[in-house]
């Protein structure tokens, strides 16, 4: 068995004005071919106007076990949302 | 189905962890690759997704067989696009399996050595152009039956792969039906070819769902884990109910003397396929098992110099870039 091509994560901008979005991954020997493979694998039906590829090994992910410490503090900060504040009707739309 | 008779792996882990895991699944949460999961769940999924991926890849062979012989340029372009989609389906699924910690080369090696299976249906030959219609109509039709519910499966990457695949499958089935309809509405000889294709593909298509699993422990476990959503019998019944009127529209006859509308169950009664034939095909004794595996082995062998060459080139180019960077510093 020969050496396997490295894994790349593929991000595609679906339409002008939108963010690139993760769509999946693929194997390719280098970045240039990763883009070409991504074209064939993920955009056969006009799904995109731009492609990013990133070596999967370069991605750092947050640990599922850290979900609490990372995201729960935001739950308590209701004052970050506009609905926290009562604005009298007389003031009008704000 | 594309993954037939997948044995679930036993799990012996901390009961509390298991209960918490099951609660997440029951609540409809998606399990992601880095989440804790029972070893049995992980192993069963690798087997199921791997088998599904292999089926997409091997499934290109019976159709690829006709690309150069398609009767018109338009049909050739359509078939080429369809077969290319199947390659894409295989790739989406391999990537989903890889998130569970198995490598692509390992999966490939297991297919080529016969340790992993692919769907029984692809061990039948495509003898005439009408067979290409029958494959799209019946084989993709049966696959859709199974894949649509799997979009809601509990494992995130598998579910997302299924969503992409389902978006593309409808084209596959429709082009097949369109093809066989042209033949059914053609000359008497063409219609006979369409009927012959239906005769040969009907029972193998019913076998795709696998034997009845209403008493199977593996199915019960897989359904609890939501990596299997319906029983094989439920899906087979749905498939028959959907296909009978479609065949009628074409003026073709389903090759089953016992086919009869059942008012009580509001569905068709039909004959079971010959399950001994199914087990023989799984064992490797179908009409095309040897051809299929040899074709995959040859493609893998013949492509080795190319895969290695591109990797060698990529490494050299990177070394050159790094050397340039150091020289510039
Ligand atoms: Fe497919
Ligand atoms: Fe398909």
Q: B247 with B270: CB under 8 angstroms?
A: no
pLDDT of amino acid B1:
63
Q: Which residue of A has its CA nearest to B312?
A: A29
For chain B, residues with pLDDT lower than 70 are: 1, 10-11
With an 8 Å Cβ cutoff, is A27 touching chain B? yes
Residues with CB under 5 A from ligand 2 (ion): B 140, 169, 172
pLDDT of residue A2: 55
State the CB neighbour count (10 A cutoff) for residue B9: 17
Query: Beta partners for B78?
Result: none
Q: Which ligand is nearest to the CA of B140?
A: 2
> CA–CA separation, B203 vs B42, rounded Å?
33
| pLDDT 10s digits, B191-232 | 999 999 999 999 999 999 999 988 788 889 999 999 999 999
Contact B278, B211 (CB under 8 A): yes
**CA distances from residue B59 to B125, B180, B230 in whole angstroms, order as listed:** 11, 19, 23
B214 phi/psi in degrees, rounded to 5: -70, -20
Alpha-carbon distance of A94 to A83, in angstroms, equals 11
Instruction: Count chain A–chain B contacts defined by CB atoms under 8 A.
Output: 54
Q: How far is B218 from chain A (nearest CA, A)?
A: 29
Q: Is the pLDDT of residue A76 over 90?
A: no
CB B264 within 8 A of CB B76: no
**Pairwise CA distance, residues B162 & B152, whole Å:** 9
Residue B325: predicted pLDDT: 80
Beta-bridge partner residues of B155: B31
What whole-number distance in Å separates Cα of residue B35 and Cα of residue B42?
11
Task: Quote the ligand 1 centre to B169 CA distance (angstroms).
Answer: 6
**Closest chain A C-alpha to B36 CA, distance in angstroms:** 9
Cα of B255 vs centre of ligand 1, distance in Å, is 26
Of residues B326 and A45, which shows the higher confidence score? A45
Share of chain B above pLDDT 70, in %: 99
Q: Which helix (H) or strand (E) holds B248?
A: helix B232-250
Q: What are the chain A neighbours of B317 within 8 Å (beta carbons)?
A: 30
B141: nearest Cα among B245, B262, B288? B245
Contacts of B206 (CB under 8 A, 6+ apart): B236, B239, B240, B270, B272, B273
Q: Which residues of A touch B163 (CB under 8 A)?
A: none
Contact (CB<8Å) B310/A33: yes
What CA–CA distance (Å, rounded) separates B105 from B129? 34
Residues 6+ away with beta carbon under 8 Å from A25 = A7, A8, A9, A10, A56, B95, B98
Nearest to B86 by CA among B126, B58, B56: B56
Kindly identify the ligand whose nearest atom is closest to the C-alpha of B171.
Answer: 2
In angstroms, how far is the first alpha carbon of chain B from the final one? 59
Distance in Å, CA B86 to ligand 2 centroid = 6
Q: Does A41 touch chain B (CB under 8 A)?
A: yes
pLDDT 10s digits, B235-245? 999 999 999 99
CA separation for the pair B148, B234 (Å, rounded): 14
Q: Concatenated DSSP letters for B172-214?
A: HHHHHHHHHHHHHTS-HHHHHHHHHHHHHHHHHHHHTT-S--T
Residue B85 with chain A: CB contacts under 8 Å:
44
What ipTM was reported for this prediction? 0.88
Q: Tell me how far apart the alpha carbons of residues B310 and B328 are, in angstroms, rounded to a whole number.
A: 27
Residues of B with CB under 8 A from a CB of A: 32, 34-36, 81, 84-85, 88, 91-92, 95, 98, 103-105, 109, 160-161, 164, 168, 304, 307-308, 310-311, 313-314, 317-318
Give the per-residue pLDDT at A1: 43
- Give B123's DSSP letter: G
């Amino acid at each position: 068995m020969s050496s396997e091509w490295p894994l790349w994560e593929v991000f595609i901008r679906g339409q002008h004005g939108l963010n690139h979005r993760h769509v999946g991954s693929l194997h390719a020997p280098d970045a240039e071919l990763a883009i070409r493979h991504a074209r064939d694998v993920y955009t056969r039906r006009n799904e995109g106007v731009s492609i990013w590829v990133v070596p999967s090994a370069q991605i750092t992910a947050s640990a599922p076990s850290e979900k609490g410490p990372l995201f729960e503090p935001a739950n308590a900060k209701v004052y970050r949302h506009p609905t926290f504040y009562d604005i009298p009707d007389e003031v009008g739309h704000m | 189905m594309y993954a037939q008779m997948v044995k679930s792996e036993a799990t012996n882990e901390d009961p509390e962890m298991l209960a918490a895991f099951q609660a997440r699944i029951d609540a409809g949460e998606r399990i992601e690759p880095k989440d804790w999961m029972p070893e049995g769940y992980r192993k069963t999924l690798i087997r199921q997704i791997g088998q599904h991926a292999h089926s997409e890849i091997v499934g290109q062979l019976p159709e690829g067989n006709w690309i150069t012989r398609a009767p018109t340029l338009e049909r050739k372009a359509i078939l080429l696009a369809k077969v290319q989609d199947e390659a894409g389906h295989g790739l989406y699924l391999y990537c989903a399996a890889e998130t569970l910690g198995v490598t692509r080369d390992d999966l490939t090696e297991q297919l080529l050595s016969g340790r992993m299976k692919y769907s029984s249906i692809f061990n039948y030959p495509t003898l005439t152009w009408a067979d290409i219609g029958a494959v799209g109509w019946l084989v993709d039709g049966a696959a859709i039956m199974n894949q649509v519910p799997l979009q809601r499966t509990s494992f995130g990457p598998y579910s997302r792969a299924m969503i992409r695949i389902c978006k593309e499958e409808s084209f596959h089935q429709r082009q097949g039906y369109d093809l066989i309809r042209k033949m059914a509405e053609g000359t008497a000889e063409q219609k006979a070819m369409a009927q012959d294709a239906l005769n040969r593909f009907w029972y193998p298509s019913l076998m795709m769902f696998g034997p009845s699993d209403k008493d199977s422990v593996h199915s019960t476990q897989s359904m609890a884990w939501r990596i299997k959503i319906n029983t094989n019998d439920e899906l087979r019944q749905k498939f028959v109910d959907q296909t009978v009127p479609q065949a009628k529209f074409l003026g073709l006859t389903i090759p089953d003397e016992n086919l009869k509308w059942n008012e009580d169950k509001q569905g068709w009664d039909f004959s079971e396929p010959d399950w001994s034939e199914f087990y023989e095909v799984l064992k490797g004794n179908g009409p095309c098992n040897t051809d299929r595996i040899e074709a995959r082995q040859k493609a893998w062998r013949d492509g080795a110099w190319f895969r290695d060459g591109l990797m060698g080139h990529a490494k050299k180019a990177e070394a050159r870039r790094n050397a340039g960077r150091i020289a510039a510093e």
